[in-house]
Amino acid sequence: MNAPGKSSHTVLRPEEAAGVLTVDLGALTANWRELKKRAASALCSAVVKADAYGIGLERASAALAEAGCDIFFVALVDEARRLRATLPTATIYVLNGLAPGTAAEFRKLRLEPVLGSWPEIDEWDAFAASSGEALPAAIHIDTGMTRHGLSREDATALAERMRLLNFRPSLVMSHLACADEPTNPMNARQIGEFRALASLFPGVPASLANSAGILGQTDAIFDLVRPGISLYGGRALLAGDNAMQPVVRVDIRIVQVRKAKKGDAVGYGAQHHLTQDGRVAICGAGYADGIFRAVGGSDTRAGAEAIVAGQRCPLVGRISMDFFAVDVSAVPDDAVKRGDYATILNEEIGIDELAAHAGTIGYEVLTALGRRYARIYRGG
Ligand SMILES: *Cc1c(COP(=O)(O)O)cnc(C)c1O
């Protein structure tokens, strides 16, 4: 990934935006191929909920489809509608299930709800009966997370009613709670529970593994895998190397470079004081753009870093809504000026490094980036 600049796909002009978000679609599809390889004979889908984890649903999905992916998971019907407009023939599952009164829209757009409760099953079944079609849907079984999904008892009862159903279960699935820690005993418990419950639905493909499941639990692969974060270059396992390629780069436009003196306070709350005379670059993005307030620096706590003129420089002072400050004293005077860029994410500073400064995870960094960047899509 190179410096921001020319592309035919900017949505907002860089000089009118907070900065430039560059998405490497070639890295995205390379990550999908790598996960598919690791999933061996299982089918490899793509989880593209929340605007493909913030990178752009349409562009990401089109690139993945071109690479061979034809099964997608979104969270909402609204996301599914956008995806259907992009990919007329893909299989689209809606993870958040069937909201009351939406069955006709699911049928019209050929979407498959992920059914995780009796009221949803009853509504979809009745709709299938009245439309005279064995409409497909996924069955989501909760195996220990206490999130959307059928209990063991409900799943067993549903399996006994299989012959009476008017709809067609096309997938039986569950979700791992602790797969980011491969040795957590919860994984084996959930895999065992899922294997037993999935076997009650003979002939229906089974799916359990998210990114961390693919990378850390060979027993969790089953018939279909559902990677999300690994596609986007994020870390799925808490420990060890991350073999995925980075997909996003974020460059923030420098609004002003100013001289500052030892002892000067920087930012709201005057929580950071410069320890020597130097220069500070004021960058035009802030917590409204996913630069979390928690990544700022203070007298007692080091902030995150940005790359300016090829050098790592510390963020100083609190992050504002639309500004943050970088101490660029170490960068030669003539190497940084108004209109240049400070790189907050690239192949060197990954989403997980920035996330660590905020005490969060790469998923939250990506999905918080927001709409104020010019977007450039490369490759794919
Ligand atoms: C979000 C989600 C995934 C993808 O998880 P990652 O950790 O991003 O790979 C898979 N399955 C379900 C049910 C999800 O909600």
> Residue 2 pLDDT > 50, yes or no?
no
Average pLDDT over residues 302-328: 98
Token readout for 52 is 């493909």
From ligand 1's centre to the CA of 176, what distance in Å? 9
From ligand 1's centre to the CA of 221, what distance in Å? 14
The model's pLDDT over 177-197, given as tens digits with 9 standing for 90+, comes to: 999 999 999 999 999 999 999
The model's pLDDT over 210-260, given as tens digits with 9 standing for 90+, comes to: 999 999 999 999 999 999 999 999 999 999 999 999 999 999 999 999 999
Which residues on adjacent β-strands are paired with residue 343?
251, 307
Looking at the structure, do residues 214 and 259 belong to the same domain, yes or no?
Answer: no
Burial 181-204 (b: 16+ CB within 10 A, else e): ebebeebeebbebbbebbeebeeb
Asked if residue 318 belongs to a domain, the reply is yes
Is ligand 1 within 6 A of the CB of residue 210?
Answer: yes
> Residue 10 pLDDT > 90, yes or no?
no
Q: What is the pLDDT of residue 12?
A: 85
**285: domain CATH number?**
2.40.37.10
Looking at the structure, do residues 278 and 140 belong to the same domain, yes or no?
Answer: no
Asked if residue 366 belongs to a domain, the reply is no
Q: What is the pLDDT of residue 232?
A: 98
Looking at the structure, do residues 201 and 295 belong to the same domain, yes or no?
Answer: no
The per-residue pLDDT of the chain, averaged, comes to 96
Domains in the chain: how many in total?
A: 2
Looking at the structure, do residues 149 and 188 belong to the same domain, yes or no?
Answer: yes
How do strand 19-24 and strand 373-378 relate by DSSP bridges?
Answer: parallel
> Residue 76 pLDDT > 90, yes or no?
yes
Asked if residue 362 belongs to a domain, the reply is no
Asked if residue 299 belongs to a domain, the reply is yes
| Chain centroid offset of residue 73 CA | 12
Is ligand 1 within 6 A of the CB of residue 175?
Answer: yes
Q: What is the pLDDT of residue 11?
A: 65
Asked if residue 1 belongs to a domain, the reply is no
**44: domain CATH number?**
3.20.20.10
Q: How far apart are alpha carbons 10 and 97 in whole angstroms?
A: 34
Average pLDDT over residues 59-80: 98
| Chain centroid offset of residue 240 CA | 20
The model's pLDDT over 116-167, given as tens digits with 9 standing for 90+, comes to: 999 999 999 999 999 999 999 999 999 999 999 999 999 999 999 999 999 9
Is ligand 1 within 6 A of the CB of residue 47?
Answer: yes
From ligand 1's centre to the CA of 74, what distance in Å? 10
From ligand 1's centre to the CA of 218, what distance in Å? 17
Asked if residue 191 belongs to a domain, the reply is yes
> Residue 1 pLDDT > 80, yes or no?
no
Where in 97-230 does DSSP place strands (E)? 112-115, 136-140, 168-173, 206-207, 224-225
Q: Helix, strand or coil for residue 177?
A: coil
Average pLDDT over residues 301-324: 98
Is ligand 1 within 6 A of the CB of residue 227?
Answer: yes
Per cent of the chain over pLDDT 70 is 97
Ligand 1 nearest atom to the CA of residue 363, by list position: 8
Ligand 1 nearest atom to the CA of residue 234, by list position: 8
Is ligand 1 within 6 A of the CB of residue 257?
Answer: no
Asked if residue 227 belongs to a domain, the reply is yes
Among 232, 257, 280, the domain boundary falls at: 232
Asked if residue 17 belongs to a domain, the reply is no
Q: What is the pLDDT of residue 6?
A: 45
Residues with catalytic annotation? Answer: 49, 268
> Residue 8 pLDDT > 50, yes or no?
no
Which residue CA neighbors atom 15 of ligand 1 most closely? Answer: 95
Q: Which of 31, 95, 114, 147 to mutate to test the pocket of ligand 1 (most atoms within 8 A of CB)?
A: 95
Looking at the structure, do residues 206 and 86 belong to the same domain, yes or no?
Answer: yes
Looking at the structure, do residues 118 and 181 belong to the same domain, yes or no?
Answer: yes
pTM, full prediction: 0.96
Among 170, 204, 232, the domain boundary falls at: 232
Looking at the structure, do residues 195 and 344 belong to the same domain, yes or no?
Answer: no
Looking at the structure, do residues 257 and 213 belong to the same domain, yes or no?
Answer: no
Q: What is the pLDDT of residue 7?
A: 46
One-letter identity of residue 281: A
Q: What is the residue range of 277's domain?
A: 248-349
Q: How far apart are alpha carbons 132 and 166 in whole angstroms?
A: 8
Looking at the structure, do residues 184 and 279 belong to the same domain, yes or no?
Answer: no
Give residue 15's pLDDT band: very low, low, confident or very high (50, 70, 90).
confident
